[in-house]
């Protein structure tokens, strides 16, 4: 699978810090390189897809919305939790997903 579908190194570090401990098929090392199917001592962070990360966070009550903001050629992310929301803009849908994940993880 293409690495663009996986969370960034920053998100992977935050996932580990916030308690994500599910088994993964790959790991991310300190340089951001993804290692599939092999264990490496220097690969210390979970490598999961952005969809898996959002699903894990949705299990904690967060709701994600990624929208195309046509007027600006940008993608807007909006994340809701109870009476709180986080939002922002990025150039691509995949960047918006990663930014939304990071924003939520920083709040946990």
Q: How far apart are CA 86 and CA 79, in angstroms?
A: 5
Residue with tokens 């579908």: 5
Over range 58-77, report the average pLDDT: 90
Q: Which residues, 6 or more positions from 12, have their beta carbon under 8 angstroms from its beta carbon?
A: 28, 45, 46, 47, 48
pTM: 0.89
Over range 13-36, report the average pLDDT: 86
Grouping H, G, I as helix, E, B as strand and the rest as coil, residue 99 is helix
Specify the higher pLDDT residue, 18 or 35: 18
Grouping H, G, I as helix, E, B as strand and the rest as coil, residue 80 is strand
* pLDDT digits 0-9 by tens, 6-23: 999 999 999 999 999 888
Residue 72 in contact with residue 63, Cβ under 8 Å?
no
Q: Is residue 25 predicted with pLDDT exceeding 90?
A: no
Over range 12-40, report the average pLDDT: 83
Describe the crossing of helices 9-17 and 50-58 by its angle, rounded to 10 degrees: 30
């Amino acid at each position: 699978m293409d690495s663009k579908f996986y969370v960034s190194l920053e998100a992977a570090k935050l996932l580990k810090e916030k308690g994500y401990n599910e088994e993964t098929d790959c790991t991310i090392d300190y340089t951001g390189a993804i290692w599939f199917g092999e264990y490496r001592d220097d690969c210390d962070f979970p490598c999961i897809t952005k969809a898996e990360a959002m699903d894990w966070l949705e299990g904690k009550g967060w709701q994600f919305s990624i929208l195309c903001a046509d007027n600006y050629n940008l993608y807007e992310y909006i994340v809701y939790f109870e009476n709180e929301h986080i939002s922002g803009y990025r150039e691509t849908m995949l960047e918006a997903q990663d930014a939304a994940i990071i924003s939520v993880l920083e709040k946990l």
